[in-house]
Amino acid sequence: MTAYLIIDAGGTFLKSAVLNSQGEVFQGSALSVESFSDGSKEEILQAFGEIISKGLKYIEERRMGLKGVGIAFPGPFHIEKATPLMKHKFQAIYGLDLRECFYQITEIPRSVPIRFIHDANAVLSGEIWKGNAQGFGNAAVVTLGTGLGFAISENGRVLCNEIGGPFLSIFKLPYKDGILEDYTAKRGFVRIYSELSGKTNDDEISVSDIGGWADKGDAASIETFKKVGKILAESLHDILIEKKIECLLFCGQISRSFHHIEPSLKDGLKDIECLQKISVVKSIDHAALLGTLRNIEF
């Protein structure tokens, strides 16, 4: 039986699963380990080594044939050279040839290809294939997590830049006294919540905490999501019109609280005639895995 080991490298966790060629996840193959994206080179590579080795063990025990290893990685990332170019996370492996590293630190046979894709492109590709962007030629996805990702498609094809990343990058868009990511990714949520609530113990607050408090009716938490929804609408508005986006999706761990962002976001985008659908992805857990498999030539 042919199998593919697919990994989604996030700023907080590395997630993996073993899939068949049709994008079906084999039962019991899904794994997650801490990514140590702010840690040392040794810590980061150890985390990758652990999740790859566990995936290989799963495949070996079931006597499957490993066809390829696919990895969705946040950017900037040079896809062809397999080198991360980030300075805000995974800093310790900046410029490292990860393909060669993974061959060296794991038992992936050299005959098995290791391929990379930008995580936002992977999510959108997965949603076009088997998710909520099916049937839409021009779609976009926003990934909300430790960082802020963005990908778009045109006539059903995910667009890439010269190093294989998303065609358009929004995380560095100027916003107030910083960039958009400062206000809409993890640190932005925590900062906005702290300002609204008066709580200053930022290191002890997570976005999932804020989401849970919002579910219970906490005013500062609800207002935090409302503000972020408004910021996203303001920042995406003209881009969505220019690119004639018909479907806008959201992914990432923060998107689990999308229902709190949704009202202010939709209100800010309601005048865009081409935009027919605003939603979360079909599967926050599997979208990037599916898209990695779909979009990589093994």
- Band (182; pLDDT cuts 50, 70, 90): very high
Whole-number Cα distances in Å, 143 to 83, 138, 237: 21, 17, 16
Give the single-character DSSP code of 24: P
Residue 51 tokens, joined: 């999740």
Q: How many residues does the chain have?
A: 298
Do 42 and 115 lie in a common domain? yes
What is the pLDDT at residue 288? 93
Spatial separation of the C-alpha atoms in residues 66 and 291, rounded to whole Å: 18
Question: CA 285, CA 283: separation in Å to the nearest integer?
Answer: 5
What is the arithmetic mean of pLDDT over 150-156? 96
Domain membership flag for residue 128: no
Say whether pTM exceeds 0.85: yes
Quote the mean pLDDT of the chain: 94
In a domain, 127, yes or no: no
Q: What is the per-residue pLDDT for 88?
A: 80
Residues 85 and 206 in one domain: no
Instruction: Inform me whether the pLDDT recorded for 296 exceeds 80.
Output: no
What is the arithmetic mean of pLDDT over 265-288? 96
Whether residues 113 and 250 share a domain: the answer is no
Q: Same domain for 144 and 241?
A: yes
Higher-pLDDT residue of 255, 1 = 255
Name the domain count of the chain.
Answer: 2
Query: Is 94 found in the same domain as 57?
Result: yes
Q: What is the CATH number of the domain that holds 54?
A: 3.30.420.40
Q: What is the pLDDT of residue 295?
A: 78
- d(C-alpha 7, C-alpha 32), whole Å: 9
Q: Which residues pair with 118 in a beta bridge?
A: 73
Contact by Cβ (8 Å): 114, 69: yes
Per the structure, the complete domain to which residue 116 belongs is given by 2-121+287-295
Query: Residue 298 — pLDDT band, cuts 50, 70, 90?
Result: low
Q: What is the DSSP string of 263-296?
A: HHHHHHHTT-TT--EEEE-S-TTTHHHHHHHHH-
Instruction: Find residue 78's DSSP bridge partners.
Output: 83
Choose among 248, 45, 254: nearest CA to 147: 254
Rounded distance between C-alpha atoms, residue 134 and residue 129, angstroms: 6
In tens, the pLDDT along 198-252 reads 887 767 899 999 999 999 999 999 999 999 999 999 999 999 999 999 999 999 8
The one-character DSSP state at 26 is P
